Structure 1
């Protein structure tokens, strides 16, 4: 049973106040016990931004920061923004706009640099990067890995975490080795849309029962997410905003109290340095 002292964090979702539900999705989350959110900026092209320079990403980042401030006002805890460049952008740049893969990668790195400015100023919590989860040619793959390594370098300088969008895998130790090589500890690298078992990054497990059971039984640091995309064309995708609180209740009913504390108290502190209990406003 969820009580008023149990923080509940959705580690990765998107909000679109201009085209879809926005704050209404946050209210749904809060109504069923959700207290904390990490809101990741939507892909730039979803907000009709076709970037040519790093500065062109600013409207995406600033709109995300604005909606996060509004979300915090609806929560008993608070929300934080995660800013960066979606790795799928490289395909849009190369396939649709005729960019050379290396030039596309440089533009995406410039976007990461702008996101890093917001982290440095205290306006964002962490960075977002990664590489395509679908098949691409070698030049695009190499450029994507360069973007991800650049995000690790910037995160190391800022002492912040990086959320990754990558291919499905249970072993990304090569990726965390790249992070560690530039001074970013493996526990500050998070794979979003993960299963319950992962070597290398901290898994942000999709909140499906089988994945959560595996993560709970494993006993290693993990987070929970919905990857809710707040898209009018896909209203419930990927999981709805009520899912994490409902899965927390299910975990508690099945005796996984330690797993809930792991995912919603201990791991957020380990990865991001945030304190979900201390930021929870109880009546």
Structure 2
């Protein structure tokens, strides 16, 4: 199979319509064979300010929705927004003098707004998680409360949750928390995953070694760059050309089935999207 014959989805990429390359990055992705994007809003303090109320969350979400509309115009497929609250907001809020409980309430209110954007229209899924760095027990506990609130919202609305968490392979407990709240664990996506993961669906950073491991594991997976779109860190985490380049590499090595898993079957199972029907080259 040739790359022209398949959808190519980057499952987790950021665009910055305020100070980033924005649509130029999308054009790089498309020029190298990319077709579909899931665009995550950057943390509110990168776009507006550290959100403490619903209006600020909406302002950050609206910027991302606008960037996604422009991205879709530049793609042979389309882009979807994934909106939510970066788990590091808890630390920003506590540093500003909020108690952990107050910070939890603010973040859960932000997730309520994000869920509205899914149920009412433009967004596909929401984002939550917990800090990927050391925090005290009180902050850790309320961060898990925030994440579980995201699971409740997703279960009620029948949509997926992308998670930003610490590294590792063992997230069975997290998947069980989702299931206890009525959410299918397949609709929980661990962003920035390696090729091996227990619990949620893995969104594998497009590194050759990790992709080979994911293929060896023979489970559903997605591919991502976590491109940050920061002019001071060009190409971080991976550049927007990376997923199409890795798809070409996989196809050259006869991994057609793995490409179909990551770019057609898993997106449909997790998000209910049809990357083939939405593609017109």
The answer to whether the 8 Å contact 1:13/1:40 transfers is yes
The answer to whether the 8 Å contact 1:116/1:154 transfers is yes
Identify the residue that residue 227 of structure 1 maps to in structure 2.
226
Q: Secondary structure at the match of 1:234?
A: coil
Identify the residue that residue 19 of structure 1 maps to in structure 2.
19
> Take 1:49 and 1:221, find their aligned partners in 2: how far apart are those partners?
36
Encode CA deviations 1:53-77: one digit per residue, 9 max, x unaligned: 1232001101111110110011110
Q: Secondary structure at the match of 1:227?
A: coil
The answer to whether the 8 Å contact 1:2/1:248 transfers is no
> Take 2:56 and 2:106, find their aligned partners in 1: how far apart are those partners?
10
> Take 2:119 and 2:135, find their aligned partners in 1: how far apart are those partners?
33
Unaligned 5+ runs, structure 1:
none
Mapping 1:1-283, distance limit 5 Å:
2-95=2-95, 97-282=96-281
The answer to whether the 8 Å contact 2:3/2:248 transfers is no
- Give me the CA root mean square deviation: 0.9
How far the C-alpha of 1:171 sits from its partner, in A, is 1.1
> Take 2:162 and 2:16, find their aligned partners in 1: how far apart are those partners?
19
Encode CA deviations 1:82-113: one digit per residue, 9 max, x unaligned: 00000011011112x01111110110000000
TM-score (norm: length of structure 1)? 0.98
Encode CA deviations 1:221-276: one digit per residue, 9 max, x unaligned: 00000000001111110000000000001111112111100000000000000000
Q: Which runs of 4+ in 1 moved over 2 A?
A: 1-5
> Take 1:50 and 1:242, find their aligned partners in 2: how far apart are those partners?
30
Tell me the number of residue pairs that the alignment of Structure 1 and Structure 2 aligns: 281
The answer to whether the 8 Å contact 1:55/1:114 transfers is no
How far the C-alpha of 1:51 sits from its partner, in A, is 2.0
The answer to whether the 8 Å contact 2:28/2:241 transfers is yes
Q: Secondary structure at the match of 2:127?
A: strand
Q: Secondary structure at the match of 1:236?
A: coil
